[in-house]
Structure formats: C-alpha cells, structure tokens
Amino acid sequence: GAGVSQSPRYKVAKRGQDVALRCDPISGHVSLFWYQQALGQGPEFLTYFQNEAQLDKSGLPSDRFFAERPEGSVSTLKIQRTQQEDSAVYLCASSSRTGWATGELFFGEGSRLTVL
C-alpha cells in the first residue's frame, strides 16, 4: 500500500477485555516497530521485528502485551486483560532498512485505545 495502515483507528475496551491491534506496513519493508504514545508524551518503543523475527521486545510493559508478525508482513499487537493505564495511542512504523539506520521510519496514524 501507499503507507502504513493501522486498524482499528479507535478502540474502547472495558477493563479486563482483550484487544488486538493490526498493522499493515509498507509493502516490502523489512523492519517493523510498535510504539506506545501516552497523552502528552512522545512515542515509547515497545517491540521490533525484522521480517517475522521479533528481535527486541524489551519495551513491552508486561506479559499482558504480545506481538507477532508471522509471515513478515502484517503485524498484530495483542493486549490481554486491559487496564486503564494501557490507554494510549499505539503506533506502528516500518522501514526498508535494518540495523541502526532504521531510524528513518514511516508511521501509521495509530490506534487510539481507551480502557474504561
């Protein structure tokens, strides 16, 4: 596609529900990142994929967060038993590069999660 596509754009969940957020990166992009952006803050790194391999998940805040990219393209971020502190915008970004040159990222519009 022309850009990074994320769905849903908005999600309201009751505390304790599971949610799944989808990211469709730019076709052919090897690197895929997930970021969490709380209100009034900058994006914070969650996890990184190179093709289907999850090379870094050090930013995932708890074991309730899980991400996958089984075929090296579309990725899903899953949050189990959502809590109010999970309310944030979840950003997906992709890059054709790998390694430390991947900083030139293409971002999606984000999925805004509100947990009641």
The site for another protein (CB under 8 A) is made up of: 3-4, 31, 33, 35, 40-45, 48, 50, 55-56, 58-59, 91, 93, 97-105, 107-110
User: Least separation, in Å, of the C-beta of 25 and another protein?
Assistant: 13
Nearer to another protein, 8 or 16 (CB): 8
3-class state of residue 106 by DSSP: strand
**3-state SS string over 22-69?**
EEECCCCCCEEEEEEECCCCCCEEEEEEECCEEEECCCCCCCCEEEEC
Nearer to another protein, 68 or 80 (CB): 68
